[in-house]
Amino acid sequence: MIKIPDGVEVEVSGTRVMVKGKMGKLDKDFHIRNIKIEKKNGSIEISSEIADQALINTIKSHIKNMFEGVSVGFSHKLQAVYSHFPINLEVKGDQLMIKNFLGEKKPRMAKIVGDVKIEIKGQELVVSGASKEDLGQTCANICSATRIRKKDSRVFQDGIYFVG
């Protein structure tokens, strides 16, 4: 049983859970057989005909992340690191353009997933959004777009990395 926090609206239909809050709206469909998700008395109950507690706890964690995302939001900081060629960053639609990476003429592109916002402050990127999954995938896309292949990684350490 998960208590619905104040300021969050929840709508449940079958296995689909829709959550609204001040940071936005999230929608997730759990395509799992033998799972019942019901809204009762200001809380959400998840039950299963087959006792699979691990699966129920996973769904609970997803729903709690949705609650936190629409009420507070999530964010990550990334840092662009270079040794010789300065990296230029620009957001165009649902793509992050990484220009002049290792002196390359063609910009590298990273896909921005969902309703994730990217703020560029010099060589620092602040990636924020309501969906934890979309945020993580966007950060992974950005980091993997600057992965260096066919060169010595001990020498060429340029890229975009997470800041602790």
Domains and CATH numbers, the chain: 2-71 (3.90.930.12), 74-162 (3.90.930.12)
pLDDT tens-digit profile, the chain (164 residues)? 899 999 999 999 988 999 999 999 999 999 888 888 999 988 999 988 887 888 899 999 999 999 999 999 999 999 999 998 999 999 999 999 999 999 999 999 999 999 999 999 999 999 999 999 999 999 999 999 999 999 888 888 999 999 96
CB half-sphere exposure, 28, CA atoms < 13 A:
22
DSSP 68-92: HHHHT-EEEEEEEE-SSSPPEEEEE
User: Are the beta carbons of 73 and 23 closer than 8 angstroms?
Assistant: yes
